[in-house]
Amino acid sequence: MSPVVVVTGANKGIGYEISKKLIADGAKVIMTARDQSRLDKAASELKPFGVVKLDVTSDDSVEQAKQEIKRLSPSIDALVNNAGFAYHGNAFGYDEAKLTMSINYYGTKRVTKALYPLL
């Protein structure tokens, strides 16, 4: 039986490549990302098991995504917390730090806590 894997930030970069490899290896991948148009484009190329819009910074979005993932599969075998943010500017101030923590730390924590019961 093929494993069901949820990948966050799957619409580009590392998340896209992880999804691509997992799909090639026979996994049922549920691709997630906050940018629906990029997610749809990536999904049209990779043909995953499922596509779910997910903004890791939003409790409501995470809960909606959880319900959609449960509709696709009552359980999952793995969660790849790939969604992340890297600041490339010169001045790393409070706003940049807040956004970085919101996505990279709290986003990972929020998604893991929500999806843990499905694992």
Which pLDDT score, from 0 to 100, does residue 88 have?
86
pLDDT, tens digit (0-9, with 9 covering 90-100), for 45-91: 999 999 999 999 999 999 999 999 999 999 999 999 999 998 888 88
Contact 82, 8 (CB under 8 A): yes
* Least confident window among 31-45, 53-67, 87-101: 87-101
| Tokens read off for 45 | 């190329």
Q: Could you say which architecture CATH assigns to the domain 4-118? A: 3-Layer(aba) Sandwich (3.40)
Mapping DSSP to helix (H, G, I), strand (E, B) and coil, where does residue 8 land?
Answer: coil
Chain-centroid distance of CA 68 in Å reads 13
**Phi, psi at 73, each rounded to 5°:** -155, 130
